[in-house]
Structure 1
Amino acid sequence: MRRTLILALGTALSTAALALALPAPAAPAAKTDADPTVTPPGWKVPKTAFGQPDISGYWSNATMTPLTRNAKLTDKLVLSATEAKGLEKAFADALAAADAPTDEKKGPGKVTDKDSPEAKLVAIRPDFAAAGGDVGGYNTFWIDPGAHMMEVNGEYRSSILTTANGLPPARKPGAAPAFGRYRDNYDSYESRSLGERCIMGFGRNSTPPMLANGYYNNDYYIIQTPDAVAIQVELIHDTRIVRLKGGHRPDDVRPYMGDSIGHWEGNTLVVETTNFPQSDNFMGSWKHLKVTEWFTRVSPTRINYRFQVEDPDTWDKPWGGEYDFAPLKGIVYEYACHEGNYALPSILAGARRKEQEADAAKAKAGGE
């Protein structure tokens, strides 16, 4: 039996665990090849047969770099090569150790055990804590979060967000909660999350802003035509259509991925998305949410992706982040999600059973 990640949300990690997670590495060897994130001298952006800058093909945004900065590791957006390589090694070592066979006498490791591989892994990526808890955890054999820190224009990044502290800004008083409470709502399958229902990918892979989910299937297929750009998302098989002609729809119809329109500014595809549904909100924002994205081919092997989020009801000013897409070695295959077909009936049946038991307990108490 492989070791599983039993990760409890909100676990506090000690300074000792962090130190164990981040051994000081030797200085990395100098690169012998040109940095793929930096535009080669004399290189020109390729064009499609109809004259658009060519961003088509198979791409991936898998990365070790999380959306938000881990303040326990660094307060800087840009890491040195030594720091980045040290994190990569510690991450790889912790993943490998967490995937070792479980000691039947000791049982699986926990993040509360400061010397466990799980603690070292979560010390580097606290968001991995969300992989465990109620669903029992992911075995690390099944995750493919990427093996490298994100590199943008030759700089190693500690977070995808480019705000001063690498975190979302403060929310306005009265703004909707950043995260919904769907886990506590068992009234209907319609009240469960879109990811759980196999309708949309979890971790916001598809709906703008498009973000790496940190676990697996962070791959895309971009197709261009004179009138539209289609972005096929591996998880959960969604395709977003960006219309290049015409404006936003005038009604209040809200497609799952919002309403995306785009235009070219030089070598950059600029995409603006509005009309988000509440079920696919971003950190609680949806009704007046607007996301602007910039896709720029910056080298033979990179597309720079920037995004800006704004909602006057939620934040005082726009904010956002940046990363680079890298080529996918292969193609995007069908992601056949069936978990909802099996899990949802059990989830709802379990909720009805608990309600029946609660009613029976009340009736018994009232009769005594």
Structure 2
Amino acid sequence: MKLALISSAAVCVALAAASAAFAQTGAYHAPRTAYGQPDLQGNWTNATITPFERDVKFGDRLALTDKEVKELEGANAQLVADGNKPTDPNAKVTDLPQNCGRGFVGVDCGYNSAWVDPGTTIIDMGGVKRDSIIVSPANGRLPPMTKDAAASMQARFAGARRASFDNPENRSLGERCIMSFGSSAGPPMLPLLYNNNYQIVQTKDEVAIEVEMVHDLRHIRLAGSHPPADVKLWMGDSIGHWDGDTLVVETTNMRPEQNFRGASVGSKIVERFTRVGPNQIKYSFTVDDPKIYTAPYTGEVALNTTKGPIYEYACHEGNYALPGILAGARTQEKEAEAGKAAGTSGTD
């Protein structure tokens, strides 16, 4: 208990120091567009090694120490260096490392660091180095699921692996080149393995966000109302308004295929974009999904300036992978049936 109180106090001191420093320099006022709106335009990246959920060892502590940051960023740099080492051309599949980091195991280790760009640094906002994207609940982790949602997810996972090889529609949206992997396009817009760049363009009536991954394009209308609940859209229907220097965006009507973290089609996401400096936008989001989670949760990500332009993401993996995956599954099924038939005839 004493350690928890000390940790919480350390966070408060760090946040207070950052706020004081900000107050001394004066509040940053974003430049204005020709329409008088805060200017969010430009090329931005949310690449970071800060995880979505907090490591339980940090408890309710949001801020990392300088030592912890150095260790985490150093370990990531070593992971990149190891991933870039050449593979022995004579190695067999069984000789490959069984855990090469970044979620890759076994043969996936061939997807080395040259092909990925998840970021190299911890999120830094206001001088506070973040240990998680989620900031609420206080423990930096997703709130508990509702009883019905948890039971439904367990049942779905039980048959998901077998069903995922039955037809193309059961494969992921990213694998089929329909939408970005993970939740890159969002909402919420979150960093992932690579292609973490965005371009924001504004007009008087709309804010458009080009997402590098699978070149998705979000349209945020600055007026109007949401369509009927049965009209489902990729990336949902987003309506924004300006609250001072902050763009507040409410999104509903998400398609069921975009079930980020098990989200239901009735979820509502509220995002806030605030330009806090010449080179950074504070991007926060709150997901309210009472059918799935017992409480809303909130996260914060830094969008930092990056050099452009954003190049076309030419998604082509599905051209060959999907037929191969499905054909392989059918072959396994035929072999299994042949084996059963042989076993049956052998007992006659």
In structure 2, relative to structure 1, the CA distance for the partners of 1:140 and 1:274 (3 Å cut) is same
Aligned residue number for residue 81 of structure 1: 66
- Corresponding position of 2:78: 93
Q: 1:60 aligns with which of 13, 21, 45?
A: 45
Match of 1:250 in 2: 228
Work out which of the residue numbers 158, 162, 177 in structure 1 matches 2:153.
Answer: 177
The residue that corresponds to 2:30 in the other structure is 45
Q: CA deviation at 1:344?
A: 0.5
The CA deviation at 1:246 is 0.5
Could you tell me which of 168, 173, 178 is aligned with 1:194?
Answer: 173
Partner of 1:347: 325
In 2: Cα distance, 1:276 partner to 1:43 partner = 34
Structure 1 letter corresponding to 2:299: G
State the Cα distance separating 1:356 from its structure 2 match: 1.8
| Contact persistence 1:177–1:283 (CA under 8 A) | no
- Equivalence for 1:9: none
Give deviations 1:71-128, integer Å, cap 9, x for gaps.
35776211122321232122212321332234678854444xxxxxx4xxx5xxxxx2
- Name the Cα RMSD after superposition: 2.5
Q: Are 1:198 and 1:338, in contact at CA under 8 Å, matched by a contact in 2?
A: yes
Q: C-alpha deviations, 1:129-150, integer Å up to 9, x for none?
A: 2x33575552122221212110
Q: 2:132 aligned with 1:132, yes or no?
A: no
- Larger mean CA deviation between 297-306 and 174-183 belongs to 174-183
- Corresponding letter in the other structure for 1:65: T
**How far 1:201 moved relative to its partner?**
1.2
Alpha-carbon distance between aligned partners in 2 of 1:92 and 1:266, rounded to the nearest angstrom? 40
Q: Does 1:263 align with 2:263?
A: no
Select 1:337's aligned residue among 292, 301, 315. 315
The one-letter code sitting in structure 2 at the alignment partner of 1:160 is I
Q: Deviations over 1:170-190 (max 9, x none)?
A: 101010428866543222111
Q: CA deviation at 1:219?
A: 0.2
CA displacement, residues 250-284 of structure 1 (integer Å, 9 cap, x when unaligned) = 24121121111111111111111111122111211
Q: Is contact 1:229-1:241 (8 Å) kept?
A: yes
In 2, Cα distance between equivalents of 1:253 and 1:135: 38
Identify if the C-alpha distance between structure 1 residues 218 and 357 changes in structure 2 by more than 3 Å, giving closer, same or farther: same
Q: Hey, what's the Cα distance between the residues in 1 that align with 2:140 and 2:321?
A: 35
Residue 151, structure 1, aligned to residue 124, structure 2: yes
Q: Which runs of 5+ in 1 are unaligned?
A: 1-33, 112-117, 123-127
Q: Deviations over 1:205-246 (max 9, x none)?
A: 002011001x21100011111111111100011001111111
Tell whether the 8 Å contact from 2:98 to 2:106 is kept in structure 1 after alignment. Answer: no
Partners of 1:295 and 1:187 in 2: CA distance: 41
1:141 corresponds to: 114
One-letter identity of the residue aligned with 1:345: P
Using the alignment, how far apart are the partners of 1:209 and 1:289 within structure 2?
12
Q: TM-score, normalised by structure 2?
A: 0.84
Equivalent residue, structure 2, for 1:364: 342
The percent of aligned pairs where both chains have the same amino acid is 48
SS in 1 for 2:70: helix
CA distance in 2, matches of 1:194, 1:314: 21
Matches within 5 A, 1:251-330: 251-330=229-308
What is the alpha-carbon distance in structure 1 between the residues aligned to residue 166 and residue 340 of structure 2? Answer: 20
> Which residue of structure 2 aligns with residue 19 of structure 1?
none
AA aligned to 2:39 is: D
Q: For 1:258 and 1:281, how far apart are their aligned partners in 2?
A: 11
Q: Conserved in 2, the CA contact under 8 Å of 1:38 and 1:298?
A: no
Q: 1:186 to 1:101 in 2, by over 3 A?
A: closer
1:206 is aligned to 2:168 = no
Q: Distance in 1 between matches of 2:111 and 2:253?
A: 34
Q: CA deviation at 1:313?
A: 1.0
Gaps of 5+ in 2: 1-17
Residue 317 of structure 1 deviates from its aligned partner by 1.6
Aligned partners of 2:288 and 2:277: how far apart in 1? 29
Separation in 1, partners of 2:22, 2:96? 43
Structure 1 pair 103/221, CA: closer, same or farther in 2 (3 Å)? same
Take 1:220 and 1:338, find their aligned partners in 2: how far apart are those partners?
21
Aligned residue runs from structure 1 range 218-257, under 5 A: 218-257=196-235
Give the partner amino acid of 1:332: I
